[in-house]
Structure 1
Amino acid sequence: MGKSVVRGLVIATLLAGAASLSVPFVVNRLLPAQAETHAGAHDRGARTQPILYWRDPSGRPSWSASPTQDASGRPYLPVYDADEPPLAGVPKPAVADASRKILYYRNPMGLPDVSPTPKKDPMGMDYVPVYDGEEPTGGAIKVSLAKIQRSGVRTEPASTRVLIRPVRGVGTVKYDESRLTAVTVRSESYVEDLFVNTTGARVRAGQPLFRIYSRDIQLAQVDLNVAISAQSRGVGGLGPQPVDGAMQKLRNLGVPERHIEEVRTKGINPRTVNWVSAGDGVVIEKKIVNGQRLMPGDELYRIADLSRMWVIAEVSELDLPSIAEGMHASVTLRAYPTEPREGTVTFIYPDLRPETRTARVRIELDNPDGRLRNDMYADVVFHAGADAEPAVTVPESAVMDSGSRKVVFVSKEDGRFEPRDVRLGRQGQGYVEIRDGVAEGEAVVTTATFLIDSESNLNAALKSFVVPEQTP
């Protein structure tokens, strides 16, 4: 559809609606004196130029598609194609630069259509000439400086850094299982007195917990006294063996070493024994009452040493490959959100929870102030990659991922950008590792990458449609 056809349709529309116009609409309006002069000029070239329509000779907004006269009998003036002003929104035809070599003409709307000669698109717009030096060469894309400035294209050089990718999880504070102590007896006994009678009580190593009477312990003490007495009198040439055997029997019954030494040195036979704590800690379980009959192996107390605690964190199985024993982790208790603590991963449990598809990771924390309490909730951040080697990295925004390809645009001189296929590695802190495709120091596009990508796709399409030059 050419320019004349488009204008003819527009004029026909204007003529059809001229009577209903409520505001002045003047096309090529001339004063009456000017109209006569203009009419003469039109008459001289009337045989060589097409007439688009006829207008009112007085300049009023009145037109006709065929010759006619006004109310005074004056004929309407013809309007030729050369005299018609350009329509609003229709661009002027591109004027080719005669001093430069034209390679081909491309579609003005950016469609993948080119022509070796000037032509118009279906809307009447002229194809845009592409000069020598502006065509897409190799894999580089050329973008005008004005477009780069308007679109906010920014670049950043690829740099070497250690990528630390935070892996987050939730955890629960637990007692250190290696610091738990169970208090039991090894013979049938009876509780005669109870010194620690509440759960949660703090105890120290060597502190008496309860007093018991045990027939087996009483007989072992008698054997020790008899052996010591016989040894002192030299009866039968007895040596130290019977004494050592009697003392070992008391040790086998779990009698405290201090009590055994007192029996040996003083030669006494106490009826009861004070049972003492083996270490410092807090009573977290108590299963003994005063007067109770105790059987061998009964657990009477469970004492936990709170100087060190565990945090059992739940980590997604997708993040599990990033976790390793010895890794540092930050633990923030929800009770103390402004006081993060640093711990170390000491164990990764070998199973997954089927309900949540998470793995359990154990972190050890020192607890000198005793503020860590069992079953507290905590937020855990693992510093994955802190011990890794530095790598070439670019911002994550620089990578365009189409699913099958991962591309980075490298900035060249004169507004050119080269697409590079890259192989990615670790991610963290807003950056991604480039294992192949970009070298350290090369500037990559970090913003407006979609603009460069669209130019790349357009140039690739144009290049595929370029008509090869005919050889004579």
Structure 2
Amino acid sequence: MSGAARLVTLGVVAGAAAWGGLAAGERGFTVSSLQDAAVMQVSMLLGRDVAAMPAPEPTGAVIYWRHPDGLPEWSGTEAVTADGRAFLPVRSSEDISLDPSDKPVAAPAPEEGGERTVLYYRNPMGLPDTSPVPKKDSMGMDYIPVYEGGDGDEGSVTVSPGKRQRTGVRTSEAVLAPLAASLRAPGIVVLDERKISVISLRADAFIETVADVTTGSTIAEGAPLVTIYSPEIASALAQFVTDVRSEGRQREGARQRLENLGVPGEVIDRIAIEGQTTVSIPIMAPRSGVVLERMAVEGMMSEAGETLFRIADVSTVWVIAEVPESALTDIVPGSEVRVSFQGLGEEATPGRIATIYPELDLLTRTAKLRIELPNPDGLLRANMFADVEIMLDQTPVVQVPEGAFIDTRDRQVVILDLGEGRFRPEPVIVGRRGGGMIEIVSGVVAGDVVVSAATFLIDAESNLNAALAALAAPDSAPEAKP
């Protein structure tokens, strides 16, 4: 054969190889077998010895093991046949098509107890073309039978081990456990309403002296704040001293009057023992805390009820958080929270919800929650901003990874792993999310295995199978009218 003829023949062989590549994948040939055949044909055309052209060695990692006789059996690990022969390793350079459902294989043998009914034959290339009888496509490949009760009419799909590894399919088990869901809400620090005291007089009086305390000063319980002179109190004291001197005992009425005017009990006892009255009456701090406000000034005239001091015990503070109205169903008193403050670092302070306020804000449609936090060091100050993380209801629920959930707005599904490489989309109703997991209200139970990665690839293939089944379903003949 001349050189020109050989070149023409080589071009024809190359064109035929391009067309035959598709059929080769369907027939189950590997890259290695195709290379061997190509080497043999080219060697014959060029007149060379085939033995002189060694086939390239397979390269790449072993991705699965195949049956030594070429049967449609694979394994993700090393395995042996029924007669004890080892499966052959298939490396990445040899893999072309690993899905047995795409190969034009013969119809399986009837199951014991009866034959399966063939519904139709589908196009081997996945085109929307079906036939009620066996046929071949334009490239000579046999149409694939779809049986009654098989996967084809349910949208399920079978994926071989090699294809699963190649596409990165991973599965996870649905578990029944508390969902690590939380809600973040803004908060603000306020003082404990039960630990605020207002110091005022119950009678008109003059302020004689004021203790060396100012706004922000820390004061102990019983420490003197002011001394006062009140004509009304002085008159009551004189009557009390007269009763003690004349009768040698205290009259309950006189003592009660002094207590009603705000005279401390210690002062009354001392006057009763000494038998002498006093003009200046000291007023002491009713509790330990921080002075929030000082209005007393030496020499001033203070009317009854006028505020002289405001003192608050800051050993415990409140954090008021606001949450949306829609979140109230998942929040109950006693729920755990973590509160963090921008000015105090990233470390969060644990706590619990003490009270859920009974009213909602009309404008913001939010509810207020009260959290009580200890403040022994006094670092938490009124009106500080807080970031509140509320741990929602911890009732165990069925949950799967968020990556397993497919939401196309028209449908919400997860892909169930049925075993032996078979997968099926399952409609679900979902609930809350948290910690990378999503609650499944219905559709999946604890223990089901779902696909958590490459879900869209399997879902797309199952949708194709379902569409083919719908196209192949015979239209019901219209009933004849009488």
> In structure 1, the residue corresponding to 2:463 is in which secondary structure?
helix
Cα RMSD, aligned residues only:
3.1
- Indicate the larger mover: 196-205 or 347-356: 347-356
**1:418 aligns with one of 386, 402, 424:** 424
Distance in 2 of aligned mates of 1:425 and 1:160: 14
Please give the TM-score of this superposition, normalised by the length of structure 1: 0.73
Residue 413 (structure 2) pairs with residue 407 (structure 1): yes
Q: Determine if contact 1:108/1:125 at 8 Å carries over to the other structure.
A: no
Residue 320 (structure 2) pairs with residue 304 (structure 1): no
> In structure 1, the residue corresponding to 2:391 is in which secondary structure?
strand
Q: Number of residue pairs matched?
A: 385
Q: Displacement of 1:404 after TM fit? A: 4.8
Within 5 Å, which residues of 2 pair with 1:30-429? 31=2, 85-86=15-16, 88=18, 92-93=22-23, 96-97=104-105, 104-107=120-123, 110-116=126-132, 117-118=134-135, 120=137, 129-131=143-145, 136=152, 138=154, 140-232=156-248, 243-353=251-361, 356-386=364-394, 388=395, 390-429=396-435
> In structure 1, the residue corresponding to 2:143 is in which secondary structure?
strand
Gaps of 5+ in 1: 1-29, 36-57, 62-78, 233-239
Which residue pairs with 1:51 in the alignment?
none
Which residue pairs with 1:431 in the alignment?
437
> In structure 1, the residue corresponding to 2:379 is in which secondary structure?
coil
Q: Determine if contact 2:155/2:465 at 8 Å carries over to the other structure.
A: no
Instruction: Name the aligned partner's letter for residue 397 of structure 1.
Output: G
Distance change (3 Å), C-alpha of 1:224 and 1:87: same
Distance change (3 Å), C-alpha of 1:152 and 1:128: farther
Q: Displacement of 1:208 after TM fit? A: 0.5
**In proportion to residue count, which structure has more helix?**
2
Q: Determine if contact 1:171/1:380 at 8 Å carries over to the other structure.
A: yes
- Indicate the larger mover: 456-465 or 340-349: 340-349
Distance change (3 Å), C-alpha of 1:137 and 1:227: same
> In structure 2, the residue corresponding to 1:362 is in which secondary structure?
strand
> In structure 1, the residue corresponding to 2:460 is in which secondary structure?
helix
Instruction: Name the aligned partner's letter for residue 129 of structure 1.
Output: Y
Q: Displacement of 1:211 after TM fit? A: 0.6
Distance change (3 Å), C-alpha of 1:292 and 1:60: same
Distance change (3 Å), C-alpha of 1:297 and 1:119: same
**1:454 aligns with one of 460, 463, 477:** 460
> In structure 1, the residue corresponding to 2:171 is in which secondary structure?
strand
Q: Displacement of 1:231 after TM fit? A: 2.4
Distance change (3 Å), C-alpha of 1:384 and 1:85: closer
Distance in 2 of aligned mates of 1:131 and 1:31: 48
Q: Determine if contact 2:153/2:466 at 8 Å carries over to the other structure.
A: no
Distance in 2 of aligned mates of 1:89 and 1:321: 64
**Who wins on radius of gyration, i.e. which is larger?**
1
Q: Determine if contact 2:120/2:146 at 8 Å carries over to the other structure.
A: no
Distance in 2 of aligned mates of 1:60 and 1:98: 35
Q: Determine if contact 2:122/2:145 at 8 Å carries over to the other structure.
A: no
Q: Displacement of 1:376 after TM fit? A: 1.8
Distance in 1 of aligned mates of 2:453 and 2:4: 61
Q: Determine if contact 2:401/2:438 at 8 Å carries over to the other structure.
A: yes
Distance in 2 of aligned mates of 1:149 and 1:273: 90
Distance in 1 of aligned mates of 2:339 and 2:404: 32
Q: Determine if contact 1:100/1:132 at 8 Å carries over to the other structure.
A: no
Instruction: Name the aligned partner's letter for residue 86 of structure 1.
Output: A
> In structure 1, the residue corresponding to 2:251 is in which secondary structure?
helix
Q: Displacement of 1:59 after TM fit? A: 6.0
> In structure 2, the residue corresponding to 1:319 is in which secondary structure?
helix
Distance change (3 Å), C-alpha of 1:270 and 1:127: farther
Instruction: Name the aligned partner's letter for residue 304 of structure 1.
Output: A
Q: Determine if contact 1:201/1:282 at 8 Å carries over to the other structure.
A: yes
Distance in 2 of aligned mates of 1:345 and 1:126: 72
Distance change (3 Å), C-alpha of 1:266 and 1:418: same
Q: Displacement of 1:189 after TM fit? A: 0.2
Distance in 2 of aligned mates of 1:208 and 1:108: 98
Distance in 1 of aligned mates of 2:229 and 2:337: 50
Q: Determine if contact 2:155/2:464 at 8 Å carries over to the other structure.
A: no
Q: Determine if contact 1:263/1:269 at 8 Å carries over to the other structure.
A: yes
Distance in 1 of aligned mates of 2:386 and 2:142: 64
Distance change (3 Å), C-alpha of 1:465 and 1:185: same
Q: Determine if contact 1:208/1:275 at 8 Å carries over to the other structure.
A: yes
Q: Displacement of 1:205 after TM fit? A: 1.0
Identity over aligned residues, as a percent? 38
Q: Determine if contact 2:413/2:426 at 8 Å carries over to the other structure.
A: yes
- Indicate the larger mover: 295-304 or 446-455: 446-455
Q: Determine if contact 1:104/1:131 at 8 Å carries over to the other structure.
A: yes
Q: Determine if contact 1:159/1:441 at 8 Å carries over to the other structure.
A: yes
Q: Displacement of 1:147 after TM fit? A: 2.5
> In structure 1, the residue corresponding to 2:228 is in which secondary structure?
strand
Distance change (3 Å), C-alpha of 1:295 and 1:83: closer
Instruction: Name the aligned partner's letter for residue 157 of structure 2.
Output: I
Q: Displacement of 1:126 after TM fit? A: 5.9
Distance change (3 Å), C-alpha of 1:171 and 1:369: same
